[in-house]
Amino acid sequence: MNFDKEQFKAAVQRRLTRDFSKDIGQNDTHDVYDAVAASVLDGVIKNWMKTRSAYDARRARTIYYLSAEFLMGRALGNNIINLCIKDAVLEALKEAGIDYNTIEEQEPDAGLGNGGLGRLAACFLDSLATLNYPAVGYGIRYRYGMFEQRIENGFQVEYPDNWLKYRDPWEIRRSDADVEVLFGGNVAVRHEADGRDHFFLENAERVTATPYDTPIIGYGTDTVNTLRLWEASSPDGFDLQLFNEMHYTRAVARQNSAEDISRVLYPNDSGPSGKALRLKQQYFFCSASLQDMIRSYTSVYGEDFSKFADLHVIQLNDTHPVVAVPELMRLLMDEHRLEWDEAWAVVTKTFAYTNHTILAEALEKWPIDIFQGLLPRVYQIVEEINRRFIADLRSRFPDDYDKQNRMSIIRSGMIYMAWLAIHSCFSVNGVAALHSEILRTKELKDWAELYPAKFNNKTNGVTQRRWLLSANPRLASFITKYAGSGWETDLSVLKNLEKYADDDAVLNELLEIKRANKEDLASWLKETQNEFLDPESIFDVQIKRLHEYKRQLLNILHIIYLYNRISEDENFAPPARTFIFGAKAASGYRRAKSIIKLINSVAAKINNDKRVGGKIRVVFVENYRVSAAEKIFPAADVSEQISTAGKEASGTGNMKFMLNGALTLGTLDGANIEIVEEAGEENAFIFGLRAEEIHAMDKEHSYNPQHYIGQNPHLARALNQLVDGTFDSSPQMFRELYDSLVYGVEGQRPDVYYVLADFDAYCRAQEEVAAAYTDRQGWAKKTLLNIARCGKFSSDRTIEDYVRDIWKLEKIKID
């Protein structure tokens, strides 16, 4: 993009005076951020429009990424980097007396996602635009995103994330593209002259869907794609009659009920919530998005749908948007008069499904009464899809009633969304090699046997533009200096670093960069949380959602063990360590919240114990989010990836750590397996039970945690300290956690996630980490080799894999 400094300064000033009646001198306000962002957007509009016309003119096959979540984070820094105008913008702002860092910090995160799945969608959009692929992201413009977490008395407390308190300068509201979505009512039939039945809804609740578009700017290209998020409102406004009668609450009830749909992101990252509003959200954005696609399509091709599947491929980000399948059937049949078979032929060539979870209990299902009540016509279509499917199953497996039952999309009063997806989509993929293998051979075995050609793997990736170039400028310059340029769009270039693996001067430079990043993180945490961090110490980091299967408990039990050794033996002097945690727990997930409280209690105890003498510190980063992640990854030495083997589908934080030169301390789970495959076992710390072993123990019910407690007095002691008042004056505080590990509660088996079984192996791996860290050159070499070998984990690679095997897109160059 060509950038005129003087023009830019003038634009910022003009916006400040015109929009906020302010002067450019007052530079620490959100208004200045808004004026700067809006001025950047000004410069993008032309390419944005050009991109759209190019796609229209070429009638380009397009990927539509349907996702209930897009965890975008901040846009300003990323956008000026992708536009390659960062230096120029910084200079212009400096001349105008504006401090860029202050401005950057004014932007609230667009936290429209829970974690991995939402952030993956954001990385994919970045890669698609950078690689010049026609793509649209479709989702929900939540008025409130992922809650703000504050720690009060060691407990997580949730506050609403009011990210639109000021306007969002990146979005453009497009009321001209409104569509209507219907809920409830009853299905009516009209017999048409041509002998066909016409189905339609009577007495339904009407909801208006209004699109807001945000530009997705490719790096170093003119391509600007679109993220289109839908907002819900009532077409009828409020009821003036009721208002006049002074029934104020009832007067706005209809309006509120519609607006509720896009009010707030559900903050749990494993289903099923079983809540009608959640289903409303799903249907709302799926129906709106399909109507949007069909409107553009029919404006060119009229009612001839024979080209629809050639021009559209719709990727379903987990089961959250699977209701789009029967909805497209409905739109094609009821609104566009296709026969069932014609419509089914279109649908089954259009949709592809990605699975992000192995946990069987997390698979989404809806009670029929809720589903049918909200979506009566769509429900009829699901029933018909299932009726035909079961008829097919019967003819293939006439005697296997068990299989027919297991695979039925509707069963025991529930609709199984994953089953609907697998049956209807032409592709089903997992997100790492192990995950896809487990799906194929275990969780989805029946389905993989029925539809073997549909199953494939697409190992996740992350965008190096945000997670290296933008988040870690020091390391980025180092890489350009030694590996050469070009890695920004071809991460395999990083392998050029390997030749410096034994070059002490280069390794020292790398150590200095890590050190400087650690100092930056320390100052930020001093400023925001008044936490003291020693940059000399090992920064050992676990940042991810709080989940039992991710085993933050294993980490904290090891910390308790270290604490015991240090406080009793003053001669025990491991290298100093800072254990850093960042995690949000779903609001209703009590045990996860209790683990947060435990981390904070252990932190309070250890950090204030004189005997520890700073050898270990524990820090809980409040309100972990994308913008915090960008400060933490560059400063990490150790990447904690310690999930129970077989439970983490992929992980993507693991890749961000590797890219930033942290060494993986992990189990052979998810993408960790591929990470060590690339990095080399000698450059990571791998421990613990394998997925196969866990699977066998699960099946045989052969696991008894008492065995491990009895063998390891350190473990027994640490466990006991959960309930003896060591970390909380009330010994009841962590009783439930203790019981869940040792005895099992609420009919669950004890220690479902094998924390105690892996404790000893984890402690030994941690000792290896400590020993390796004291050899500074040796550590730097491992760091360098990790960076050099992480090319595979770019989301650019992932996208090229999707394009080659599933999406079959062509690159469209914008001239």
Compute how many residues bind ligand 26Q; rule: CB under 6 A. Answer: 24
171 touches ligand 26Q (CB under 6 A) = no
DSSP state of 264: B
Does 592 sit near ligand 26Q (CB under 6 A)?
no
The answer to the question of residue 364 lying near ligand 26Q (CB under 6 A) is yes
Among 9, 143, 228, 278, binds ligand 26Q (CB under 6 A): 278
Pinpoint the alpha helices (H) of 681-724.
691-700, 705-711, 713-721
Q: Is 222 in the site for ligand 26Q (CB under 6 A)?
A: no
Q: Is 647 part of the annotated catalytic residue set?
A: no
If one asks whether residue 648 binds ligand 26Q (CB under 6 A), the answer comes out as yes
| Backbone phi, psi, residue 80, to 5° | -70, -25
Determine if 550 is a binding residue for ligand 26Q (CB under 6 A). Answer: no
139 binds ligand 26Q (CB under 6 A): no
Verify binding: residue 74, ligand 26Q, rule CB under 6 A. no
Q: Which of 454, 584, 593, 656 is catalytic?
A: 656
Tell me if 273 contacts ligand 26Q by CB under 6 A: yes
Name 481's Cβ contacts closer than 8 Å, sequence gap at least 6. none
Identify the three-state secondary structure at position 401: helix
| Terminal Cα-to-Cα distance of the chain (whole angstroms) | 12
CB of 155 to ligand 26Q, least distance (A): 23
Q: At 750, which amino acid appears?
A: P
Say whether 545 is catalytic. Answer: yes
Q: Which is nearer to ligand 26Q, 147 or 773 (CB)?
A: 147
Instruction: Please answer whether residues 136 and 225 qualify as being in contact, where contact means their C-beta atoms are separated by less than 8 angstroms.
Output: yes
Position 564: which residue type?
N
DSSP string, 472-539: -HHHHHHHHHHH-S-TTT-GGGGGGGGGGTT-HHHHHHHHHHHHHHHHHHHHHHHHHH-----TTSEE
Of 74, 278, 312, 356, which one is the catalytic site residue? Answer: 356
Among 641, 650, 667, 740, binds ligand 26Q (CB under 6 A): 650
- Is 208 an interacting residue with respect to ligand 26Q (CB under 6 A)? no
Minimum CB distance to ligand 26Q smaller for 100 or for 366: 366
The question of whether 652 is a catalytic residue gets the answer yes
How many C-alpha atoms does 135 have within 13 Å on its Cβ side?
Answer: 32
Strands, E assignment, 105-263: 110-112, 135-140, 148-152, 155-159, 172-173, 179-183, 186-191, 197-202, 205-217, 224-233
- 544 catalytic? Reply is yes
Residue 234 touches ligand 26Q, criterion: CB under 6 A:
no
How far is residue 496's CA from residue 473's CA, in Å, rounded to a whole number?
A: 19
Which residues are bridge partners to 148 per DSSP?
159
Minimum CB–partner distance for residue 648 and ligand 26Q (Å): 5
Q: Which of 82, 270, 664, 683 binds ligand 26Q (CB under 6 A)?
A: 270
Rounded Cα gap, residues 309 and 374, in angstroms: 28
356 catalytic, yes or no? yes
SS3 579: strand
By CB under 6 A, residue 117 contacts ligand 26Q = yes
Active-site residue identified among 350, 652, 726, 783: 652
Contact flag: residue 651 with ligand 26Q (CB under 6 A) = yes
Residue 191 annotated among the catalytic residues of the structure = no
Using the rule CB under 6 A, which residue among 141, 356, 518, 577 binds ligand 26Q?
Answer: 356
CA distance 172 to 168: 9
Q: Is residue 597 at the binding interface for ligand 26Q, with CB under 6 A as the rule?
A: no
- Check residue 281 for interaction with ligand 26Q (CB under 6 A): no
Measure Cα distances from 242 to 253, 255, 257, 323, 770 in Å: 10, 13, 16, 35, 70
Closer to ligand 26Q by CB, 224 or 418: give it: 418
Report the residue number, 73 or 574, with the smaller CB distance to ligand 26Q. 73
652 binds ligand 26Q (CB under 6 A): yes
The tokens of 65 are what?
């990424």
Active-site position among 280, 435, 545, 577:
545
* Cβ-based nearer residue to ligand 26Q, 215 or 646: 646
Give the interface with ligand 26Q as residue ranges (CB under 6 A): 114-117, 120, 266, 268-273, 278, 356-357, 364, 431, 460, 648-652, 670
Catalytic residue ranges: 356, 544-545, 550, 652, 656
